[in-house]
Amino acid sequence: MYGEPIYAGDRIVGAINIGYGNPPKEADQLKELSKAFGIDVEQLNEKAISYDSRPNLLLTLAKKRLRTSANLIGEIVEKAEAQKKLKRSMALLDETGSLARVGGWELDAETLKVTWTKETYRIHEVPLDYQPHLEEAINFFHPEDRESLSQAIQSALKDGKPFDMEIRFITAKGNHLWTHTKCKPEIENGKIILLNGIFHDITERKHIEEALRKSEIRFHTLFENISDAIYVHDAKGRFFDVNHVAHERLGYTREEILKLTAADIDIDYPTELSVLKKIAPAITTGPLTTESRHKTKDGRAIHVELKISAFQDYGKELFATIARDITKRKQAEAVMLESEKKYRLISENMADIITTMDMNLRFTYVSPSIMRLRGYTVKEALAQTIDQTMTPDSFQLVANAFEEELRLEETATADPDRIRIFELEEYKKDGSTIWVENTSSFIRDEGQKPIGILIVSRDITERKRNKEQRDKLISNLQKALGEVKTLSGLLPICSYCKKIRDDKGYWKQIESYIHEHSEAEFSHGICQECAKVHFPDLDIYDEDETQG
């Protein structure tokens, strides 16, 4: 048996074999073959005896032919694999060109025949059987760019000068694109035979560049016109850029401030290390806001609010710090703080209670005098709901008044400075009640919208008690006066019988009339004159009594 390997390049892809040799002559081997293949033993023996061995010349010739066949088969396999690989590469190249929107083109220098790749056809939006001439191919480009492209092609054909251009393009369907066209002449024996080029659709990149350009314009417009100072610096505080507010506010020229660092102008962070500690969180946790003081060229301090953000610029960590001047706000806060201290001192030491509530009638502040008036601590009083502080009748009075005030607010015509005064019965911590006079008004925001309620409460229990006693005394006096009866005016009386006519026209005995109209009581007797007239025989009066 002889075999020859089949090579495709450096790789074995198979083998081709031939077999040769003498037949067996031993009786046992012949019997095995006879039995295996069903052939008579005698016939096998005759064939073995008559077999003539192949000459070496024939064997050598067979081996050469076998080797030639193996080489031929290897070349065929190698070529087939190369074609298959080329086909895959072409497909991959076409797919890559489609994804990247990159096509190719050739221009024969002698015939001026134009050849395009599939992607170039797709970019032009023409069918694959379209055969363009050079002039037609140039006419796809924007009218304003055709002349420069024509000159570049002529220079490449004449002088072998390559070109690289970004020019506008109009497809067969009228779509406007931006393209990158690149050409490299192919020269043989000093003669230009071909122009090879690429054709790349860069419309998206151009749109991005245009958007970036407009964004940069907007940024620089904002950068230079914003009322806040802007500093661009690195982690060491070295300035790379500032807007005009930054250097003008501190009294420097732009050139002067760019020679300084953040530590040079920051009173509260005067060293490089302190500046780094201040801005480091902007890298790890994102933009941060803090306050500091900047120092002007003449030594004045300016309070600033700093908003610090980190960003990358060509791989370098930089920071943008926006500094807002809050000096006036700080001064106002200081005045407000001092004023608040004074008012708190007054509220904490006055006998009256000052209370604030939100628009949901929840307590937001109670002055310490609550302890003297109702026995509760400030914490306990803040935890109470309004209905827990007063009797049901008083709570209903407050609820009704609150609804009335809200309706007045809806009219937008009510006096914003109006007040309401209530006399309410409130609970003390020991369960007893006291009477308070509450003077209430709305707390308003800058737009005059109510955002809370201010209440000043004064103990009027003693005044209420005195009033009740006074009212009771007046009531008793009025009752007593009602029981006192007096006679006044002109009384009609009979000149003979002395009867008096009442207001209903009836004549009554004088004693009866007086009794009805006064508290006088009568006891009847007889005078001396009447006794002599009516009882002459009776000595009712003594002589001495008569004379007296």
Cβ count within 10 A of residue 441:
16
Structure tokens at 261: 């660092």
Look at 75 and 183; give whichever has higher pLDDT: 183
Look at 9 and 93; give whichever has higher pLDDT: 9
User: What confidence tens digit (pLDDT) does each residue in 361-409 have?
Assistant: 999 999 888 888 899 999 999 999 999 999 999 999 999 999 999 999 9
* Residue 61 within a domain: yes
- Domain match, 495 and 453 both: no
Structure tokens at 404: 């009335």
Helices (H) and strands (E) in the chain, counts: 20, 19
- Domain match, 134 and 236 both: no
- Domain match, 169 and 200 both: yes
Query: What is the CATH classification number for the domain harbouring 176?
Result: 3.30.450.20
**pLDDT at position 437, please?**
93
User: What confidence tens digit (pLDDT) does each residue in 159-175 have?
Assistant: 999 999 999 999 999 99
Residue with tokens 């007893």: 432
**pLDDT at position 439, please?**
93
- Domain match, 418 and 327 both: no
Q: Which domain holds residue 113?
A: 101-207
- Domain termination residue (choose one: 79, 113, 134): 79
Q: How many domains does the chain have?
A: 5
| pTM assigned to the model | 0.39
- Domain match, 65 and 109 both: no
Mean pLDDT, rounded, for 207-212: 86
- Domain match, 188 and 114 both: yes
Are 274 and 297 in contact, with CB atoms under 8 Å apart?
no
User: Is residue 97 pLDDT above 80, yes or no?
Assistant: no
- Domain termination residue (choose one: 45, 79, 113): 79
* Residue 148 within a domain: yes
- Domain match, 37 and 111 both: no
Name the H helices within 259-308. Answer: 262-265, 272-279, 281-284
Q: Across the chain, what does the average pLDDT equal?
A: 84
User: What confidence tens digit (pLDDT) does each residue in 238-296 have?
Assistant: 999 999 999 999 999 999 999 999 999 999 999 999 998 999 898 889 999 999 999 99
By percentage, how much of the chain surpasses pLDDT 90? 45
- Domain match, 326 and 357 both: no
Cβ count within 10 A of residue 168:
16
**Helices 41-50 and 27-37: crossing angle, nearest 10°?**
120
- Domain match, 274 and 310 both: yes
Task: Compute the Cα dihedral for 216, 222, 225, 226 and give only its sign.
Answer: negative
Strand partners, 221: none
**pLDDT at position 546, please?**
47
User: Is residue 94 pLDDT above 60, yes or no?
Assistant: no
Please state, in angstroms and rounded to a whole number, the distance separating the CA atoms of residues 158 and 30: 86
Mean pLDDT, rounded, for 137-156: 94
**pLDDT at position 170, please?**
95
